[in-house]
Structure 1
Amino acid sequence: MFTEFNLENLEESKNLLEELLNDNRKKIEELLSIENKTYANFVLPFQEIGESIGEFVTPIFHIDSVKNSEITTKVYEECLPVLSKYETEISQNENIYLALKDIQSNEKSTLNNIQKKVLKNEIRDFKLSGCHLENNDKKRLEEISLRLSELSHKFSLNLLNATNAFEMICEDFEDVKEIPKSDLELASFEEDGKTKYKFTLQMPSYLAYITYGTNRAKREEIYKAYCTRAPENGKIIEEILALKDEKVKLLGFDNYSQYSLATKMASKEEEVVSFLSELGHKALPKAKEELEELKQLALKDGIEDFNSYDASYYSEKLKKAQYDFDEEYFRPYFEQQSVLNGFFDFLEQMFNIKFIKSDTPSWDDKVKVYDLSEDGKVIARIYIDLEARKEKRGGAWMNNWHSHYKNSDGDIKFPTAFIVGNFPQSSETTPSLLRHSDVVTLFHEMGHALHHLLSKVEEPFVSGISGVAWDTVEFPSQFLEYFSYDKEVLKMFAKHYETGEVLDDEAIDKIIKAKNFQSSMGTVRQVEFALFDFKLHQKLYKTENEIQDLLDTVRDEFSAMKPPSYNKFQNGFSHIFAGGYAAGYYSYKWAEVLSADAFYMFIDSGNIFNKELGIKYRDCILSKGGSVDMDKLFFDFAQREPSVDSLLKIDGIIS
């Protein structure tokens, strides 16, 4: 029923991949030789060929992210050019493009809407990959695609290596006296008969010091190390931007942002810029007030030159003073397995799905695997890998492996997905105790996973998250995130890991009240990232200095506080230089409008566990995957257009 996760032949991957791709090439030739091509005899088998590649390469690329080693890097780098060459070759095959156009034209009256969507997307994507160009231009596009893949991987690897290379040792207990016990235990080691403390740029360790580190000089040391990581990425960015600019001009676009919008819900560049500017200008006055509060607090410690490396430390103090809120207090109540069990109960109440533990093999003994069942039938599988490891890249993400679809034999294929986090580690004496912010991240990534796993679409190219416009793909993840702040939801799993005591109402109220703490500062920060990204791709910025100047210009208009001049945020901006968010980072805020509005429907119904509404959301949004444009799906669900004000209200920016 499910393919097991198995990388026994990892080092053979390149040869196995070449065999698979050569076999696929033959299959495509056979498809092209069919005289009377139809949707059934051409398009469906063509989609299955595409699926077979994703199923094979996903574990190989995944293992390089979660268990990075010299071997995984070598295998990744061997497979990448082989795959890139094949993908470029297929995407520029004019015969496939013409066959799809013919089928679209000949079967217009007999195809269903989902099949029409598959054809529309595919024909668009073939055009975007240059299949209509002259051969020399196609050749150049192929070279560009391969080089961009290599550069993205190098960008990521440089960051990982720089993250792992740094250590900050504290020998004086005074420097670490405010750091929570659980973090301190992980940081402490014995040397020369003395207890010392080691902090790294791994996210849990970095956050521990930047948030609770008493020594200001040490805070700056670790902050500076973090925001000056991988300076060599500056040159990689120059090359990535030049290649992207060349690529889209070959394809007939004015700039990369215009090219990016061809596959988005937003249709015009001005639409994106004005949306972000409106959000930024509405949030900035309050963001400046929030910053002023921090400065006033720091003044009590004699700090007159308040800086970026002070922000988290004084934010934590202010949060504690205003809400008596301390992330650390809550951690014993958010033991990882308890959170998962309660979360699964909540999802069963909302969407009528059960999570059943599976003993199938995975890549690490800390990974938990579950089968999802609906009405007593298993429909999907999920792998959950939450704890930080040295060989795991930073951040959190969902990765889809198999899609739900009906194959040419009429059998339903079941979907699978991975959720990866970098949450506090468990030890022999202490389980993994999450921060509430980790709980929020888990809800977020599960939102992505359910969007993929609950699909009922029978065409693989628009099933699950496949074919979903990039600027709406965050809608289901952000929507689910909002529930992680609800009192009744939290009570389902916020139980002390030693006593079993449920977190009391007063403590939960603090989490809820603290949710919008500095939300305006958070909004302008996201606007800064999104506008920098979008404008960076509206014309060609050729040098590191030009790129920095653009970032400074955006910050001048929208930042509450400018960071130190040595901050090279761009060199670590993986989302746009090593992920799929180039000229699309605005998607987070764009999709938040949909998610905030959908969540308000549950609030307005008077019942956060409104199962009828939950099932409607599952059926209208999650089950449809990418088979219908999200603006139409949202309208089906809400019976109206979304409103920006819901987002501003939920963030406490307007009342």
Structure 2
Amino acid sequence: MSNPLLDFSGLPRFADIRPEHVTPAIETLLAQARAAVEAAETAAPDWDSFIVPLDDAGERLGRAWGQVAHLQAVLNTPALREAYNANLPKLSQFDAEMKQNLALHAQYQRLAAAPEHAAASDARKRVIENALRDFRLGGAELADEQKSRFAAIKEELASLSAHFEQNVLDAIDAYALYVEEGTELAGLPADVLAACRAAAEKEGRPGYRLNLQMPCYLPVQSYADNRALRQTLYRASVTCASELDAPERDNSALIERILALRHELAQLLGFGSYGEYSLATKMADTPEQVSAFLHDLAARARPHAQQDRAQLEAFARETLGLDTLEAWDIAYVSEKLKQARYSFSQQEVKQYFTEPRVLAGLFGVIESLYRLQVQPDTAPVWHPDVRFYRLVNAEGALVGQFYLDLYAREGKRGGAWMDDCRNRRDKADGVQTPLVYLVCNFGRGVDGKPATFSHNEVITLFHEMGHGLHQLLTEVGELGVAGINGVEWDAVELPSQFMENFCWEWERLQAMTAHADTGEPLPRALFDRMLAAKNFQSGMATVRQLEFALFDMELHGGPGAGISHVQQVLDRVRREVAVNIPPPWNRFQHQFGHIFAGGYAAGYYSYKWAEVLSADVYAAFEEAPDDVPATGERLRTQILARGGSRPALENFTAFRGRPPQVDAFLRHGGLSG
């Protein structure tokens, strides 16, 4: 086909997609989807006549738009952004039309009431239940005037969120700091210096080019002896996309508008707050339950965090001669204290985690847990850095495939994530296997050497692979509940956080290491020091996440407010739970993409909620160390394979044989004492 976005015959044709393909493809697919909706309104209300045609049209539209959204995140260009922004409102409008269509709503109700429904599979029952719920949450029961307003709000929110994310990306990409003398960069690791020097050379400039992307920013904060340099980059980073940045990138007005619209949307549906609306699709029942959960964890963690802070201040004063511990000192002093206390540095550890060995180790864990093999595969890709793999079972049959895009670059959104490109589906001609994206922002190898990853980056890779496995290992054939579709948002992080635990098992960790220069595996003595330091500053790390989660819930607990009120809420939460209070010009909220541009609004607590679940799941492996394959098989069949076909709590209880308990979470985090 001339338009690659309309070709669903195989893998996406990323090498062929151009910005000018976007609008014609989306308009064609929207027309087809609307025709399918019109036919479905009068079709026989049974699965094959009603659901399947809707799924066919919706899937084609979702797959095409998913490719556009993915490219916008990993290979952003002005032309692609323009095409994305021009078509986003069209998708939002169609989504609103679908969720407010009373004829479709009545068809779903007929399907639910039909005698055949009682004998339907769990997956099909769940699809119908979720659809009826989503009609209510989508405004189907509103009066016509309210429906119109609801749709307009949804459309504007989608546009605002995209603009928010683009402002952050532009702010990060726009910043550069040029340093001519290497002496000013004392303490920085050699690979970071080499990358900064190469970046300057690429622009025909002498010296070094520093930026705000994580492979540069984090090492400066952790290792640069030059305190003024740390402060300069810190200030540039935490003021991105705020009123302290370029006016055209200021997210202040977007934040105000997003919060106001969310509250109005929730009230239209009869909810007291956006927090209540958000929890309608989650495991947690009420904002009060979430708040109690977070405050309970804060009460347990804050004493440990205060102790962490006191030790850091004492070390900074007595050993490093710093009378005050500023925000741009924390990572640096923490690294020095860790080195002094445990006799190793993250940079020393990093030299052992070479990319080929890390990937081999990750794939080895997958094989040992689930008896599946990861094999190299070929596909059209969007950038030369991207690799492609297939996942096969013991008989060699294809389970799924995934793209792996590891390195940071300009035009690529920061952070790490998994997204689905094509979901599993049972079709008349066989099973459609899942296809996913795994995206990170690590530093690439320099001077002909393979990339090396910090241990934290290894954990990030395992985390995203956990999300990928949740999508790849589903055995549900209905699109609406296959993979992570239909899974309560506060349970989605369970498989990803579970995978992180294997980055702390000695035999597995040693197998994924080979020193960049010598090829030697990680020494046991160094691992023992890493393990001793595992919960180093875990109190501070925990309250930092609780700070974000409480800020999110409180922000969405009432009417929208001005940007000054947003700052006041954040300041109040920090006084309550934080031990590291940033300077007054810190504008973290202006970059908080999870809640303003992602799916975590009134849901950031999900990370801690799911961490309790994941720790309890991993405890099952600890309790049966000689029976890993059997436990892995139970995890696969009772949680991963089930997707959203039954409630997450039922999945967990089927695997564990009981409801979740907090003990393993506290023990793993060093917070039980």
TM-score, normalisation: structure 2: 0.94
Check the 8 A contact 2:29/2:57 in 1, yes or no: no
Conserved in 1, the CA contact under 8 Å of 2:514 and 2:521? Answer: yes
Bigger mean CA deviation after superposition, 330-339 or 182-191: 182-191
Q: Work out whether residues 305 and 579 of structure 2, in 8 Å CA contact, stay in contact via their aligned partners in 1.
A: yes
Q: Which residue of 2 aligns with 1:43?
A: 51
Which residue identity lines up with residue 401 of structure 1 in the other structure?
A: C
Structure 1 position 230 matched with structure 2 position 241: yes
In structure 1, C-alpha distance between the alignment counterparts of 2:274 and 2:15, rounded to whole Å: 37
Residue 148 (str. 1) matches residue 157 (str. 2): yes
Q: Contact between 2:32 and 2:57, CA under 8 Å: does it hold in 1?
A: no
Instruction: State the AA in 1 paired with 2:402.
Output: I
Q: CA deviation at 1:256?
A: 0.1
Q: What residue number does 1:170 align with?
A: 179
Give the distance between the partners of 1:162 and 1:370, measured in 2 at CA.
Answer: 33
Q: Does 1:436 align with 2:455?
A: yes
Say how many residue pairs are matched: 652
Q: What secondary structure is seen at the aligned counterpart in 2 of 1:418?
A: strand
One-letter amino acid of the counterpart of residue 102, structure 2: E
1:20, distance to aligned residue in structure 2 (A): 1.0
2: distance between equivalents of 1:53 and 1:576?
25
Task: State the distance in 1 between where 2:598 and 2:239 align.
Answer: 20
**Percent same amino acid at aligned positions?**
37
Match of 1:382 in 2: 402
RMSD of aligned C-alpha atoms?
Answer: 1.7
> Which residue of 57, 65, 72 maps to 2:65?
57
Q: What code does the residue aligned with 2:65 have?
A: V
Deviations 1:439-465, CA, capped at 9 Å, x for gaps = 000000000000001000011100001
Alignment correspondent of 1:179: 188
Per-residue deviation, 1:412: 1.1
Counterpart code for 1:422: N
Q: Secondary structure at the match of 1:319?
A: helix
Contact 1:325–1:514 at 8 Å: present in 2 too?
no
Q: 2:27 aligns with which of 14, 18, 30?
A: 18
C-alpha distance 110-244 of structure 1, shift in aligned 2 (>3 A): same
**2:204 and 2:162 mapped to 1: Cα distance?**
42
User: Which residue of 2 is the match for residue 307 of structure 1?
Assistant: 326
CA distance in structure 2 between the partners assigned to 1:113 and 1:615 by the alignment? 21
| Ranges in structure 2 where 5+ consecutive residues have no aligned partner | 1-8, 243-249
Taking the aligned partners of 1:518 and 1:603, their CA distance within structure 2 comes to 24
Cα deviation for residue 536 of structure 1 reads 0.4
Q: 1:69 Cα deviation (Å)? A: 0.8
1:97 to 105, 112, 115: 105
Q: Give secondary structure in 2 for the equivalent of 1:97.
A: helix
What is aligned with 2:221? 210
Match of 2:585 in 1: 566
Higher alpha-carbon deviation: 597-606 or 492-501? 492-501
Take 1:13 and 1:194, find their aligned partners in 2: how far apart are those partners?
Answer: 38
- Quote the Cα distance in structure 2 between the aligned partners of 1:560 and 1:250: 39
> Does 2:358 correspond to 1:343?
no
What do the CA deviations read for 1:570-592 (whole angstroms, capped 9, x no partner)?
A: 00100000000000000000000
Q: One-letter code of the match for 1:495?
A: A
User: SS where residue 649 of structure 2 aligns?
Assistant: helix
Single out whichever of 632-641 and 111-120 deviates more from structure 2. 111-120
Following TM superposition, by how much is the alpha carbon of 1:290 offset from its aligned partner in structure 2, in angstroms? 0.5
Match of 2:418 among 368, 376, 398: 398
| Partner SS state of residue 81, structure 1 | helix
| Aligned-partner Cα distance in 1 for 2:569–2:12 | 47
Task: Look up the SS of the partner of 2:489 in the other structure.
Answer: coil
- Contact 1:387/1:432, CA 8 A, preserved across alignment: no
Rounded to whole Å, the distance in 1 between the matches of 2:175 and 2:314 is 32
- Correspondence for 1:66 among 68, 71, 74: 74
C-alpha separation in 2, matches of 1:391 and 1:514 = 36
Structure 1 residue corresponding to 2:533, chosen from 483, 491, 514: 514
CA distances 1:393-424 after superposition (whole Å, capped 9, x unpaired): 100000111111112x2521110000000011
Report the Cα distance in structure 2 between the residues aligned to 1:214 and 1:167, rounded to whole angstroms.
Answer: 19
1:323-338 to 2 correspondences below 5 Å:
323-338=342-357
Deviations 1:214-254 (A, max 9, x none): 12122111111111110111111000001111111111111
Assess if the C-alpha contact under 8 Å between 1:249 and 1:255 holds in 2. yes
CA distance in 2 between counterparts of 1:133 and 1:282 reads 44
Which residue in 2 is equivalent to 1:613?
Answer: 631
Shift of 1:16: 1.1
| Residues 580-599 of structure 1: pairs in structure 2 closer than 5 A | 580-599=599-618
Contact 1:479 1:598 in 2 (8 A): yes
Q: Does 1:77 align with 2:85?
A: yes
Q: Is the 8 A contact 1:353 1:373 kept in 2?
A: yes
Task: Look up the SS of the partner of 1:420 in the other structure.
Answer: strand
Alpha-carbon distance between aligned partners in 2 of 1:361 and 1:515, rounded to the nearest angstrom: 40
User: Which AA in structure 2 matches 1:17?
Assistant: I
Q: 2:567 aligns with which of 527, 532, 548?
A: 548
Segments of structure 1 that go 5 or more residues without pairing to the other structure are none
Pairing partner for 1:246 from 264, 282, 287: 264
Distance 1:534 1:7 in 2: 42
Report the Cα offset of residue 647 of structure 1: 0.8
